[in-house]
Structure 1
């Protein structure tokens, strides 16, 4: 799940939330998004209002971007499903086996994903799978 258009990406989350509330059928990706949305009831107000499409979230003001957070969850789940980068599925399984809280285990992994993406964006270079996997291994 990837898009350069922030508003378009956010709109997808709002559409899934609308379908969820209307009990409409969902595509496999939408079902994954629904699962993540369900895990984050604190974000439902953002998903229920079109104004959130334009809202700015600043970590400097202590605001977490709910759309980014949920997108990281989804990206992580997609990576685990296809085992890309190679070995992420095994790392995930090992981390989950050691953690009583699956959701928190994902959050720890998402920190590595976000760090790798930030480094790539800051340096203007492609994301480094090896750096990402090294970070994930340190969680074990």
Structure 2
């Protein structure tokens, strides 16, 4: 499977396959292990991952307040990859600072996701790559603000 596929169902199936392999104690690829870790951190999505057919067909409408769990988990994966590679430069330190201030790396990711989503939205709207400088500026301001609390 290709994590960068444009096929929504193929992407969603990766979550099911990784979770089933994890539950069965089967060997996981590094990507599957990352996916399984994100799913494990979100017990509210475990029931969803019990019914592949229903979840594959399900639509999520943000305008009615629905959160797409696959998008949410994908944002975690993106952030974890950024932190592990420290790209953009400095994101690992920001994550560490926020995790320390909040006492929870997952909560740090949840706050950081807002900035990632905004950077991606602007990039898509403008037809340009994400502006890493603005993204990191927002994250640094967030870390500074939360460090003062």
Give the CA deviation at 1:130. 1.0
TM-score (norm 1): 0.93
CA distance in 2, matches of 1:19, 1:58: 30
Cα deviation 1:79-118 (Å, max 9, x = unaligned):
1111111111111111112111221111001111111111
Shift of 1:121: 1.2
Identify the residue that residue 87 of structure 1 maps to in structure 2. Answer: 90
4+ runs deviating over 3 angstroms: none
Contact 1:17/1:48, CA 8 A, preserved across alignment? no
Alignment of 1:1-140 (within 5 A): 1-50=3-52, 51-140=54-143
Question: 2:46 & 2:64 partners in 1: Cα distance?
Answer: 21
Unpaired segments ≥5 residues, structure 1: none
Counterpart Cα distance in 1 of 2:98 and 2:18: 29
Cα displacement (A) at 1:3 = 2.8
> Taking CA–CA contacts closer than 8 Å with sequence separation of 6 or more, which of the two structures ends up with the larger relative contact order?
1
Q: CA RMSD in A?
A: 1.2
